Each structure stands twice: as structure tokens, then as C-alpha cells.
């Protein structure tokens, strides 16, 4: 009886893992196809970099899932730290001296269905800040903040770069990066605000 129960639990877990992997791969393909259709001016190197960034973010989500005691939940602080470390490594190859800092409350986690779009938004915001906010050889920093207030979860990404262009809304309407961010924010029923005064900052707010 115990053996049969254990086998059933294992089979259910394997089926869930297969479903999750299939769903994630389908999402990756959809995003990449959207990038290929929308950004015809991108070089092969840029397309490969975007692909690597997307897959890297998903990999870190699954790694961070094992850091929480709740099944199928992702520790957001752990995810942000791992993500920032790996992005910093890739930036060194591009000769950008950008420091990534994480300020996150302990014990904040999300179920996998919401953790995936949250992670994609975080990855896109950080990568956009590093790529577009700084020129080659620039020094600066990007700060990732994750915190709770009552029943709300907040993500804030701030950079000390060159700021947003005056025609930011027009440029992002044609580009794919912010469209992906807004699509995932809609999936989370979250709001996204930004400002570009002394520093450029994007703030995501969602209900827990």
C-alpha cells in the first residue's frame, strides 16, 4: 500500500515537472518568435544574447525553487541575487563596469505560475537598464529592490545611467522589450510605473 502510494506521488510529480517544462519552453519559443518578427534590425549576436538571457532567467527560477520550504514556490531574494551575479559576469565581457545590488526582504516567495512572469519582468528590466542605460566603458550601478507592504508586493529596478530618452513611449511602442514587460505585468494583474529624474526607476506593484 505504501509502495503504491509512493509510486503515485512520484508519477504525479514527474507529470507536473513535464507540464512545467513544456509550458516554459512554449513560452520561450513564443517570446523568441515575437522578438524575431518585431526587431528586424537586431544582429544575430543580439538575438542570441536575448535568447540566452531568457533561458538563464528561467533556469535561475527553478534553482531558486529549491531554496524555499514551500513546494512549487520561488524565493524571490534568492532569485534576484543569483540573477544579478550572473548578469554581472556577462557584463564584464562587454567591458561595462556596472555593479548590481539587491535589497530584498527575506521570506518573500511566489508560486511558480506567478514567479515565472515576475522573473521575466525582473530580468528584462535589469537587462534593459544595463544595455540601454550605460555606454561601453561606463561605470554605474543598478539596484533591484523587492519588498512587501501589507498585501502588496513591489519590485523596483533603479539605475544610475544616462536616463530615458524624451521619446521613450514612442520608441518602446515599436520595440519588443517593454511590450514583453507589459504583457507579463498584465498576466500578473500588476501595475508598472517609471520615472527618470536623477535616476531611472521602474516600479512593479502586484497583490499577494
What residue ranges do the domains of the chain occupy?
A: 43-207
Task: Say what the pLDDT of residue 101 is.
Answer: 95
How crowded is residue 196: how many other Cβ atoms within 10 Å of its Cβ? 17
Residues 6 or more apart in contact with residue 70 via CB below 8 angstroms: 109
Q: What is the pLDDT along the chain (208 residues), one digit of tens a residue?
A: 555 665 565 556 556 555 666 666 666 666 666 666 665 566 666 666 766 777 777 778 777 766 656 667 888 999 999 999 888 887 777 667 889 999 999 989 898 889 888 998 999 899 889 888 887 777 889 999 999 988 999 999 999 988 888 887 777 666 677 888 888 899 899 999 998 888 899 999 999 8
Please state, in angstroms and rounded to a whole number, the distance separating the CA atoms of residues 193 and 208.
18
Q: Which pLDDT score, from 0 to 100, does residue 57 have?
A: 77
**pLDDT attached to residue 81:** 93
User: Which fold would CATH assign to domain 43-207?
Assistant: Heat Shock Protein 90 (3.30.565)
pTM of the model: 0.81
Using CA atoms, how far apart are residues 87 and 100, in angstroms rounded to an integer?
8
Amino acid at each position: 500500500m505504501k509502495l503504491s502510494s509512493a509510486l503515485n506521488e512520484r508519477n504525479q510529480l514527474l507529470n507536473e515537472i513535464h507540464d512545467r517544462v513544456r509550458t516554459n519552453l512554449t513560452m520561450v519559443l513564443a517570446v523568441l518568435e515575437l522578438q524575431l518578427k518585431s526587431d528586424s534590425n537586431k544582429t544575430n549576436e543580439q538575438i542570441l544574447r536575448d535568447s540566452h538571457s531568457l533561458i538563464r532567467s528561467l533556469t535561475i527560477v527553478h534553482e531558486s525553487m529549491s531554496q524555499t520550504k514551500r513546494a512549487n514556490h520561488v524565493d524571490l531574494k534568492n532569485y534576484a541575487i543569483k540573477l544579478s551575479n550572473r548578469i554581472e559576469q556577462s557584463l564584464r565581457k562587454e567591458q561595462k563596469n556596472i555593479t548590481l545590488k539587491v535589497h530584498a526582504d527575506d521570506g518573500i516567495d511566489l508560486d511558480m505560475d506567478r514567479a515565472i512572469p515576475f522573473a521575466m519582468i525582473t530580468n528584462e528590466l535589469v537587462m534593459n537598464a544595463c544595455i540601454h542605460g550605460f555606454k561601453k566603458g561606463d561605470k554605474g550601478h543598478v539596484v533591484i529592490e523587492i519588498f512587501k507592504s501589507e498585501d502588496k508586493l513591489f519590485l523596483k529596478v533603479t539605475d544610475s545611467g544616462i536616463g530615458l530618452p524624451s521619446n521613450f513611449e514612442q520608441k518602446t511602442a515599436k520595440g519588443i522589450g517593454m511590450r514583453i514587460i507589459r504583457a507579463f505585468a498584465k498576466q500578473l494583474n500588476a501595475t508598472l510605473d517609471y520615472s527618470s529624474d536623477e535616476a531611472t526607476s521602474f516600479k512593479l506593484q502586484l497583490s499577494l
